[in-house]
Each structure stands twice: as structure tokens, then as C-alpha cells.
């Protein structure tokens, strides 16, 4: 069971039992009714908690009750933006010794077992051509690739001794993937100009807490293509991730398995809490101040997560 709880830096406040839209609270199980967890609460007093998200629809989203003895993971990640892949192909700037062809291929490796997307660029090189040197090849190749960019590449630039390719970051709104590609070259051997380097100078990364990535995760939890199509009456659930926002993310995993359940399938509850860290930081501090002390007293004795 996976769940995403989303907070947009709104202070905890209830009206007739409904949490303020955009707020995230931690409730404790109480015979008299669920109430907010307090920093002074310990596992000796409070066995079970749940997370609550307030929505603009006036309905609380809640997690299942989680017993402290079942918690196996408590961690957090401060927002870290996505990083696009940067690939450097370097070669000598000197003269070609014979006429021939150089082929530069950019191959998108994002698609696993499917046929890879690729682009090939062929150049006539050598003493009797317009591309007599590695420096001239750099200029011609950058111009040709910019005129017909591969899907996975957003920018191509000269390095002075080669070519630099910059990939794309993941965007739910633009429909782009996080680039992962490689570059191969044919014809730069035993002809006066040789490859001196080929590989990433910057590795691609989705980072932590990017709104585009969290938005995709939110949609995947809501169902195929973000909603279950009811034929004539599609039921499209609202999205609570706000585009362009930086989120700190917390992860809590509980293993409450019982006999007959499939390990890590039926018995694992994974809760991700994403909290907007850009505005009312007091709301995030209150969240940590209530949860960290209680988690320190559960059987796992988890250290504090302070973002």
C-alpha cells in the first residue's frame, strides 16, 4: 500500500473536524476521538498515529492507522532540483590526414528493451573537403545537430575541443523524460584526429521533491492515466501537487504483516509526505516537532529528521 500526503505550508487548524486545505496533521488514536499528536506524546501513551491532509473540497484525506512497533523506515530528503545529463565528446582540433566520413550518433537509452531512438549525422572530412580539421568538424557538427536535435537533447554547444550535449529534465506538463543517452562516433581513428574523451560530465538525476516528479507519482497512485475512465462520466480526481513548488519529502514505512500475507506486498505501508518548503516554514517545523519525539520512543527508536 502506497500513499502520498501533500502539504502546502498551511498551519494546522480544524473547523468542525475538517482540516484546513493545504495543511498536514498527525493524529493520535484516542478512545475519545482522534486528536493531534503533541511533542510530549510518547509510544507509552500513544500506540497508533495517522496522517491527515486537508483539501479544498472540505474532506480530509487520511492514512491508515500506523502502530509505532511496525515502523521500519523513517527518513527525509530536502528539496534537490533535477539535474539534466551533460555529455562531453572531446577530440583533437588538428588536421585530418585522409579524406573519409565521420558519423556521430546520439542514442536515447531511456526505453529499455524497446527500439532505441537515435539520430545519425554524417560528415565528409579530410584535406580536400570543407572539414579539414577537428576544429572545423566541431563547428559543422554543432550546427548540424542544432538544426535537427534528437528528442532527448535540449542543447548542443562547442567545447573548443569537441561537442557538449545537454539533455532534458522530466516534465509532466511538457511530456519530456529525464534524458539518458549516449554518443558514439565512427571514422575518428587513424586519420589524424582522434577521440580524447566520451562520457558524462554531469549525470542525470530526478532530485528530490520536484513538483513535476511528485505530480507524476500522484497521478500513478490515482490510476491509469490519472483517472479511471467511467466511459461517459470520467471521474478525474483533483491534483494537490502545485506546479513549480519545491517540496521536502518524508518517508515512513510500516511492516504490519500477518500470516498468509505476501511479504513486501500485502503487509507494507509506504507513506510519502511532501511538504512545500517555500513559504510558511513554521508549519513544517510543527510537523517535525510533533513526529520526531514520538518516533524516538517507538521500538525502532528512530533519530530525528529535520529538514
The model's pLDDT over 111-140, given as tens digits with 9 standing for 90+, comes to: 655 556 789 999 999 999 999 999 999 999
Q: Any bridge partners for residue 87, and if so which?
A: 165, 200
Per the rule left: phi > 0, alpha: psi between -120 and 50, beta: everything else, 244 is: left
Q: How confident is the model at residue 226 (pLDDT cuts 50, 70, 90)?
A: very low
Residue ranges of domains in the chain, CATH in brackets: 2-80+208-297 (no CATH), 86-202 (2.60.40)
User: For the chain, how are helix, strand and coil distributed in percent, rounded to 5?
Assistant: 15, 35, 45
CA atoms within a 13 Å half-sphere pointing along the CA-CB vector of 149: 13
The model's pLDDT over 41-99, given as tens digits with 9 standing for 90+, comes to: 999 999 999 999 999 999 999 999 999 999 999 999 999 999 999 999 999 999 999 99
Mean pLDDT, rounded, for 99-103: 96
pTM for the model stands at 0.85
Q: At a CB cut-off of 8 Å and minimum separation 6, what does 260 contact?
A: none
pLDDT value, residue 261:
55
Amino acid at each position: 500500500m502506497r500513499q502520498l500526503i501533500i502539504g502546502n505550508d498551511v498551519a494546522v487548524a480544524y473547523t468542525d473536524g475538517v482540516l484546513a486545505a493545504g495543511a498536514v496533521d498527525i493524529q493520535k488514536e484516542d478512545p475519545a476521538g482522534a486528536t493531534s499528536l503533541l511533542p510530549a506524546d510518547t509510544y507509552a501513551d500513544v500506540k497508533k498515529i495517522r496522517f491527515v491532509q486537508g483539501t479544498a473540497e472540505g474532506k480530509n484525506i487520511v492514512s491508515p492507522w500506523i502502530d509505532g512497533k511496525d515502523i521500519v523506515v523513517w527518513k527525509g530528503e530536502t528539496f534537490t532540483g533535477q539535474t539534466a545529463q551533460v555529455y562531453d565528446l572531446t577530440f583533437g582540433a588538428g588536421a585530418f590526414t585522409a579524406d573519409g566520413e565521420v558519423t556521430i550518433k546520439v542514442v536515447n537509452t531511456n526505453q529499455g528493451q524497446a527500439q532505441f531512438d537515435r539520430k545519425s549525422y554524417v560528415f565528409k572530412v579530410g584535406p580536400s573537403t570543407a572539414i579539414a580539421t577537428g576544429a572545423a568538424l566541431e563547428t559543422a557538427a554543432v550546427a548540424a545537430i542544432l538544426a535537427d536535435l534528437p528528442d532527448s537533447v535540449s542543447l548542443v554547444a562547442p567545447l573548443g575541443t569537441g561537442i557538449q550535449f545537454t539533455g532534458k529534465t522530466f516534465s509532466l506538463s511538457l511530456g519530456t523524460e529525464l534524458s539518458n543517452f549516449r554518443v558514439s562516433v565512427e571514422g575518428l581513428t587513424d586519420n589524424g584526429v582522434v577521440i580524447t574523451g566520451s562520457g558524462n560530465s554531469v549525470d542525470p538525476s530526478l532530485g528530490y521533491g520536484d513538483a513535476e516528479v511528485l505530480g507524476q507519482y500522484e497521478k500513478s497512485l490515482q490510476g491509469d492515466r490519472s483517472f479511471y475512465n467511467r466511459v461517459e462520466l470520467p471521474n478525474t480526481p483533483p491534483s494537490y501537487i502545485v506546479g513549480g513548488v519545491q517540496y521536502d519529502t518524508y518517508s515512513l514505512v510500516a511492516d504490519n504483516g500477518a500470516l498468509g500475507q505476501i511479504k513486501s506486498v500485502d503487509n507494507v505501508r509506504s507513506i510519502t509526505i511532501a511538504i512545500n518548503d517555500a513559504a510558511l516554514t513554521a508549519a513544517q517545523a510543527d510537523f517535525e516537532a510533533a513526529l520526531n519525539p514520538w518516533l524516538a520512543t517507538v521500538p525502532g527508536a528512530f533519530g530525528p529528521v529535520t529538514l
